[in-house]
């Protein structure tokens, strides 16, 4: 039962126009998280949840309390076209497996025709993250299925690309590891602190929610609990997003990133050992990061001696950054919730800017704490 006194939508928003939203891939864990966050949003209303199965939204996500119902892709496309024709500005979130967003957006684009310009698109998958078709093919092993559309998408890491996101109509939300990697490395690269001739050693641990909703041997809790292992030793696909960002800083270092599966559900903990190009103190390095994230409500650079942990960010859209120098190495630590700042929350943060809203609208800044 809803208690209106506590429900965010019970309070009117002055001069606000409601934006109807559809989520494609309704059964997925990111879709469930996104719909939880949409319920908190003052001006974006979930109109439909697109699923290939007949499973109800309540059954797929028992934690949700929503008036929306599941629908087919065909039904959603018809409703989105009708909304656009009626003068609304629909928003669609593509919370689909990698490789499926292209097909969904191409089908909708075809039905919309000229009305496609009215629709706001946020892709949570990898389909439109890489601007170069060649880089996409190298990372994913096949040619891009919608290469002509790549230029239409803006890369959605708000803290590093905020200006381009204001008023954008197509956004590719970054990957979870890619978000942590860029928050850790790009400020130092932009400040020209780093040596690109020596390896950058990056070590990341992620929770089981990053593996999706379908059970697998490696994500089954009795196997995952109390366990830890590395994967993708030959290279992780999210490195391509870091390489793309570093290229804009005129950096192309040898990156050695090793991903690990951790014994928890939510979160990413990243440790980076970055070779310095010149002598820098910890205080100076922290100042560069503080300047880079000034005005970013969801990224906090910790004071000297403090290190980020997962519990402080779990359930929130925040990222914590710790910075320290030892000798010729800059150590950067990042924690974030892969489901929120590394996924659904980041997508909603992007939509806020696309709509001209405060980027914090509907997004939690406080972590769960002791639980």
Pair 189, 209 in one domain: yes
CA distances from 202 to 60, 88, 155, 198 (A): 35, 45, 22, 13
Is 371 within a domain? no
Pair 144, 204 in one domain: no
Q: What is the pLDDT of residues 93-109, one digit of tens each?
A: 999 988 899 999 999 99
| pLDDT the model gives residue 241 | 96
| pLDDT the model gives residue 13 | 39
**Full domain range(s) for residue 184:** 177-336
Pair 152, 185 in one domain: no
Query: Which of 71, 102, 176, 350 is flagged as catalytic?
Result: 176
CB 156 within 8 A of CB 350: yes
Grade residue 224 by pLDDT with cuts at 50, 70 and 90. Answer: confident
Q: Which residue has the higher pLDDT, 64 or 41?
A: 41
Is 3 within a domain? no
Pair 156, 209 in one domain: no
Portion of the chain with pLDDT greater than 90, in percent = 73
Pair 268, 207 in one domain: yes
CATH at residue 142: 3.40.50.720
Is 332 within a domain? yes
CATH at residue 241: 3.30.360.10
Grade residue 367 by pLDDT with cuts at 50, 70 and 90. Answer: confident
Q: What is the pLDDT of residues 184-219, one digit of tens each?
A: 999 999 999 999 999 999 999 998 665 555 656 666
Portion of the chain with pLDDT greater than 70, in percent = 88
Is 130 within a domain? yes
User: Domain total for the chain?
Assistant: 2
Grade residue 27 by pLDDT with cuts at 50, 70 and 90. Answer: confident
What is the pTM for the complete model shown?
A: 0.91
Q: Rounded to an integer, what is the distance from CA 115 to the centroid of its chain? A: 27
Pair 140, 197 in one domain: no
| pLDDT the model gives residue 60 | 67
CA 292/CA 304 separation, integer angstroms = 17
Is 363 within a domain? no
Pair 165, 265 in one domain: no
Whether 176 is catalytic: yes
Pair 157, 215 in one domain: no
Closest CA to 304 of 323, 284, 320: 323
Pair 141, 290 in one domain: no
Pair 36, 169 in one domain: yes
Q: What is the pLDDT of residues 1-23, one digit of tens each?
A: 333 222 233 333 334 589 999 99
For the cut 70, the answer to whether the pLDDT of residue 164 exceeds it is yes
Pair 196, 296 in one domain: yes
CA 243/CA 240 separation, integer angstroms = 5
What is the signed CA dihedral for 26, 231, 262, 350, rounded to 10 degrees? -40
| pLDDT the model gives residue 14 | 37
Pair 164, 19 in one domain: yes
Q: What is the pLDDT of residues 269-326, one digit of tens each?
A: 999 999 999 999 999 999 999 999 999 999 999 998 899 999 999 999 999 999 999 9
Q: What is the pLDDT of residues 238-259, one digit of tens each?
A: 899 999 999 999 999 999 999 9
């Amino acid at each position: 039962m809803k208690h209106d006194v506590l429900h965010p939508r019970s309070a009117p928003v002055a001069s606000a126009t409601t934006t109807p939203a559809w989520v494609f891939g309704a059964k997925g864990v990111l879709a469930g998280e996104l719909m939880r966050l949409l319920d908190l949003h003052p001006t974006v209303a979930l109109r439909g949840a697109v699923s290939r199965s007949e499973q109800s939204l309540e059954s797929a996500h028992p934690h949700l309390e929503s008036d929306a119902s599941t629908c087919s892709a065909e039904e959603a496309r018809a409703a989105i076209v009708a909304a656009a024709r009626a003068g609304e500005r629909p928003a669609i979130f593509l919370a689909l497996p990698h490789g499926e967003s292209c097909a969904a957006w191409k089908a909708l684009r075809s039905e919309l025709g000229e009305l496609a310009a009215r629709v706001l698109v946020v892709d949570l998958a990898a389909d439109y993250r890489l601007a170069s078709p060649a880089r996409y093919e190298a990372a994913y092993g096949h040619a891009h299925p919608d290469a002509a559309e790549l230029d239409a998408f803006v890369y959605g890491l708000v803290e590093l690309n905020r200006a381009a996101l204001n008023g954008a109509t197509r956004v590719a939300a970054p990957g979870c590891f890619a978000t942590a990697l860029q928050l850790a490395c790009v400020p130092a690269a932009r400040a020209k602190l780093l040596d690109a001739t020596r390896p950058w050693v990056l070590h990341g641990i992620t929770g089981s929610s990053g593996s999706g909703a379908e059970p697998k041997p490696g994500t089954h809790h009795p196997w995952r609990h109390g366990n830890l292992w590395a994967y993708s030793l030959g290279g992780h696909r999210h490195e391509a997003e870091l390489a793309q960002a570093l290229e804009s800083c005129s950096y192309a270092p040898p990156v050695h990133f090793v991903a690990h599966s951790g014994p928890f559900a939510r979160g990413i903990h990243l440790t980076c050992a970055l070779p310095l190009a010149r002598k820098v103190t910890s205080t100076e390095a922290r100042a560069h990061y503080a300047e880079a994230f000034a005005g970013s409500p969801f990224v906090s650079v910790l004071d000297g001696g403090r290190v980020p942990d997962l519990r402080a960010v779990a359930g929130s859209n925040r990222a914590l950054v710790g910075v320290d120098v030892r000798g010729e190495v800059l150590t950067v630590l990042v924690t974030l919730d892969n489901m929120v700042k590394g996924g659904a929350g980041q997508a909603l943060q992007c939509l806020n800017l696309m709509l001209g809203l405060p980027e914090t609208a509907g997004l939690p800044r406080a972590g769960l704490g002791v639980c």
